[in-house]
């Protein structure tokens, strides 16, 4: 198979949702139907049960939430699928936003009882900014919820995107027994099996015979036929509209019971886009180019607790990776030989011999790689659009064991580099300041410092409430601003200058006093 053919069969996507919509559960079931695992784990597992494969951090397993993006790859029906399970909680939104720069499409999971929720809207706005195609899965049909017509109307009203049903539920709650596949015009009747394993499926092609009444009863059979008549008036699926982000195919099911998951996966790999071009400051990079390029969108420390390793997750944007190839680290100008790039199934990993544009691989990072870094076969490129956002909460780390000062600093630096929070060094004073978007981030850092770095610390509030990165075309003016505001000047781990004040009012006052200085709520990494 040629490199071009390999690229065309890649499907790289992120799963996004409001917390508790069932995102990590659907991830497990996609892996199950993709043959990547034999039994799916429960997200809120008891201590003796299996944990979800994508929740590999201790704090995730204890709390039953995803706080870090997990990368998983598997083969399905001739397609190479790269799946990224993102955090749903808003406190970890930066990780999710960065992941969306590394994928070609998204799967949006909705709780059928709740419809569109706050985080759903925010994530959809990010997808729309990047024109990322979105497929929708309405989950939890095993519980009572919205009528499917009302669910689609809710999506159209709040997300401003047209809905096209691809499957249709038969029953709801305890009466949920299957779906109608509108693409293949088949009824899929599910026969329950042990939770966590695949269900037996009975497929019916004839709607007019007596099989529907025999399986579902006369009332459900009649309602299905009535619903299908109503669906005939809706616009059909249009691939161009979907790829442009104006139309979303909608699937219905119950991830916990495996209902509707296979139908979703079957249509997803056929409809979702292959790897797309990526914008760099210098030019657009096309996946089929011969020369290799990639960018780092995530760093994860201590995937292997025994070796205290650090892994840089990179998205291949063009060309072919081969084991042992030499790459240029564009930011530093240094060349490096990559012998042990890694492909992931959550925490399980294999050494990558070859990978293509669209694939996500891991490069071992010994401290020199940052989020946003580019690697090429020689060309100087800088891919755009990877954000960092001004934190809204600030804390000072208090060490509980004075002999662990170096370990604390190392832990804070490494966790900051991987995007768990932001570390700021003050121009005056010795206290490092940790900035975050949500309070839960500090709980995660505390837990990870203790479990991964053997450091016990707690975080103390400081009288800071607003941060902005500052730039100026006039270097003399920037120097004057820095010197006159030394007590409020900090630098982040990338060396960017940040103005951190006690209030938004103080930031506004500084803007009035220094009109030549630009104050930024976000910065490209």
Got the DSSP string for 356-371? ETT-EEEEE-SS---T
Q: Is residue 26 located within the same domain as residue 53?
A: yes
Q: What is the mean pLDDT of the segment spanning 129-155?
A: 95
The CA distance from 78 to 346, in Å, is 21
Q: Is residue 18 located within the same domain as residue 148?
A: yes
**What pLDDT is recorded for position 42?**
38
* Chain centre to alpha carbon of residue 387: 14
Nearest to 525 by CA among 333, 385, 425, 332: 385
Instruction: Please name the helix (run of DSSP H) or strand (run of DSSP E) that holds residue 107, with its range, or none.
Output: strand 105-111
pLDDT grade, residue 300 (50/70/90)? confident
The CA distance from 71 to 49, in Å, is 22
Query: What DSSP designation does 51 have?
Result: B
**What pLDDT is recorded for position 303?**
60
The SS3 assignment for 372 reads: coil
Q: What is the mean pLDDT of the segment spanning 337-359?
A: 86
Lowest mean per-residue pLDDT among 17-21, 167-171, 238-242: 17-21
Question: Which of 322, 356, 376 is where one domain is finished?
Answer: 376
**What pLDDT is recorded for position 289?**
96
Lookup: tokens for 63: 């709390």
pLDDT > 80? residue 502: yes
pLDDT grade, residue 92 (50/70/90)? low
Sequence-ordered list of residues with C-beta below 8 angstroms from that of 399, at least 6 positions apart, any chain: 405, 408, 455, 456, 457
> Do the domain assignments include residue 323?
yes
- Assign residue 180 a region (left: φ > 0; alpha: ψ between -120 and 50; beta: otherwise): beta
The CA distance from 481 to 353, in Å, is 51
DSSP letters, 390-401, are: --SEEEEEEESS
Q: Which residue has the tokens 């010795």?
A: 430
Q: Which residue has the tokens 């201790």?
A: 58
Query: Do 180 and 187 contact (CB within 8 A), yes or no?
Result: yes
> Do the domain assignments include residue 137?
yes
190 or 240, greater pLDDT: 240
Q: Is residue 266 located within the same domain as residue 314?
A: no
Query: What DSSP designation does 175 have?
Result: G
Q: What is the mean pLDDT of the segment spanning 441-451?
A: 87
**What pLDDT is recorded for position 47?**
32
Lowest mean per-residue pLDDT among 138-147, 246-255, 381-390: 381-390
**What pLDDT is recorded for position 408?**
92
Q: C-alpha distances in angstroms, 241 versus 84, 162, 384?
A: 24, 9, 25
The phi, psi pair for 93, rounded to 5°, reads -65, -30
The CA distance from 139 to 311, in Å, is 33
505 or 196, greater pLDDT: 505
**What pLDDT is recorded for position 347?**
55
**What pLDDT is recorded for position 512?**
96
Question: Which of 376, 399, 433 is where one domain is finished?
Answer: 376
Q: Is residue 309 located within the same domain as residue 255?
A: no
Please state, for a pLDDT cut of 90, what percent of the chain lies above it: 54
Q: Is residue 122 located within the same domain as residue 210?
A: yes
**What pLDDT is recorded for position 54?**
45
Kind of pairing between the strands at 134-139 and 247-252: parallel
pLDDT grade, residue 91 (50/70/90)? low
Lookup: tokens for 498: 């940040």
> Do the domain assignments include residue 79?
no
Q: What is the total count of domains within the chain?
A: 3
* Residue 18's CATH number: 3.40.50.300
pLDDT grade, residue 46 (50/70/90)? very low
> Do the domain assignments include residue 87?
no
> Do the domain assignments include residue 88?
no
- On the CB side of 150, CA atoms within 13 Å amount to 8
Q: Is residue 392 located within the same domain as residue 366?
A: no
The phi, psi pair for 363, rounded to 5°, reads -115, 130
pLDDT grade, residue 135 (50/70/90)? very high
Lookup: tokens for 475: 């270097």
Q: What is the mean pLDDT of the segment spanning 198-211?
A: 75
The phi, psi pair for 60, rounded to 5°, reads -65, -45
Host domain of residue 319? 278-376
Q: What is the pTM of this model?
A: 0.83
* Chain centre to alpha carbon of residue 175: 33
Lookup: tokens for 151: 């669910």
Q: C-alpha distances in angstroms, 257 versus 39, 56, 195?
A: 12, 23, 6
pLDDT > 70? residue 525: yes
**What pLDDT is recorded for position 39?**
56
Q: What is the mean pLDDT of the segment spanning 306-323?
A: 85
Q: What is the mean pLDDT of the segment spanning 232-239?
A: 92
pLDDT grade, residue 90 (50/70/90)? low
379 or 306, greater pLDDT: 379
Q: What is the mean pLDDT of the segment spanning 428-443?
A: 86
Nearest to 462 by CA among 503, 419, 498, 408: 503
Q: What is the mean pLDDT of the segment spanning 264-272?
A: 95
**What pLDDT is recorded for position 415?**
84
Lowest mean per-residue pLDDT among 158-162, 240-244, 301-305, 451-455: 301-305
Question: Which of 229, 250, 271 is where one domain is finished?
Answer: 271
152 or 258, greater pLDDT: 152
* Chain centre to alpha carbon of residue 234: 31
pLDDT grade, residue 133 (50/70/90)? very high
Query: What DSSP designation does 294 have?
Result: E
Q: Is residue 138 located within the same domain as residue 39?
A: yes
């Amino acid at each position: 198979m040629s490199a071009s053919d390999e690229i065309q069969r890649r499907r790289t996507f992120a799963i996004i949702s409001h917390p508790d919509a069932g995102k990590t559960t659907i991830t497990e079931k996609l892996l199950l139907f993709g043959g990547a695992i034999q039994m799916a784990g429960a997200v809120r597992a008891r201590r003796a049960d299996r944990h979800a494969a994508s929740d590999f951090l201790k704090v995730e397993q204890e709390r039953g939430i995803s706080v870090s993006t997990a990368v998983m790859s598997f083969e399905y029906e001739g397609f190479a699928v790269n799946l990224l399970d993102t955090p749903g909680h808003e406190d970890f939104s930066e990780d999710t936003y960065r992941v969306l720069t590394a994928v070609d499409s998204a799967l949006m999971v909705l709780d059928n009882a709740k419809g569109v929720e706050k985080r759903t809207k925010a994530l959809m706005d990010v997808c729309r900014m990047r024109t990322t195609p979105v497929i929708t899965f309405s989950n939890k049909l095993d519980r009572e919820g919205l009528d499917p017509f009302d669910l689609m109307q809710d999506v159209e009203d709040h997300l401003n995107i047209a809905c096209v049903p691809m499957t249709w539920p038969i029953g709801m709650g305890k009466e949920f027994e299957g779906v109608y596949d509108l693409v293949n015009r088949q009824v899929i009747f599910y026969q329950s099996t042990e939770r966590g394993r695949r269900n037996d499926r009975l497929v019916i092609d004839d709607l007019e015979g007596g099989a529907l009444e025999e399986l579902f009863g006369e009332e459900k059979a009649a309602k299905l036929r009535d619903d299908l008549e109503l669906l005939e008036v809706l616009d059909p699926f249009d691939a161009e509209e979907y790829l442009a982000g104006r139309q979303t195919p909608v699937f219905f099911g119950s991830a916990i019971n495996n209902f509707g998951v296979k139908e979703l996966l079957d249509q997803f790999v056929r409809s979702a886009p292959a790897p797309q071009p990526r914008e760099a400051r210098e030019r657009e990079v096309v996946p089929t180019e011969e020369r290799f390029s990639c960018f780092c969108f995530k760093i994860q420390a201590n995937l292997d607790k025994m070796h205290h390793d650090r892994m840089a997750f990179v998205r291949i944007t063009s060309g072919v990776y081969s084991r042992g190839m030499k790459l240029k680290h564009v930011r530093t100008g240094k060349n490096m030989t990559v012998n042990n790039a890694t492909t992931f199934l959550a925490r399980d990993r294999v050494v990558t011999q070859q990978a293509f544009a669209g694939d996500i691989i891991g490069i071992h990072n010994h401290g020199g790689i940052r989020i946003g870094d580019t690697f090429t076969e020689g060309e100087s490129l800088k891919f755009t659009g990877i954000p960092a956002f001004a934190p809204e909460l600030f804390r000072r780390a208090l060490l509980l064991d004075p002999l662990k000062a170096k370990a604390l600093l190392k832990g804070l630096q490494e966790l900051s580099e991987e995007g768990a929070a932001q570390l700021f060094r003050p121009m005056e004073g010795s206290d490092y300041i940790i900035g975050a978007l949500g309070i839960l981030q500090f709980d995660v850092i505390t837990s990870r410092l203790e479990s991964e770095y053997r450091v016990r610390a707690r975080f103390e509030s400081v009288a800071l409430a607003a941060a902005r990165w500052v730039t100026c075309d006039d270097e003399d003016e920037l120097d004057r601003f820095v010197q006159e505001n030394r007590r409020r000047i900090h630098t982040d781990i990338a060396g960017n200058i940040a103005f951190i004040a006690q209030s938004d009012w103080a930031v506004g006052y500084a803007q009035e006093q220094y009109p030549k200085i630009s104050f930024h709520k976000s910065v490209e990494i």
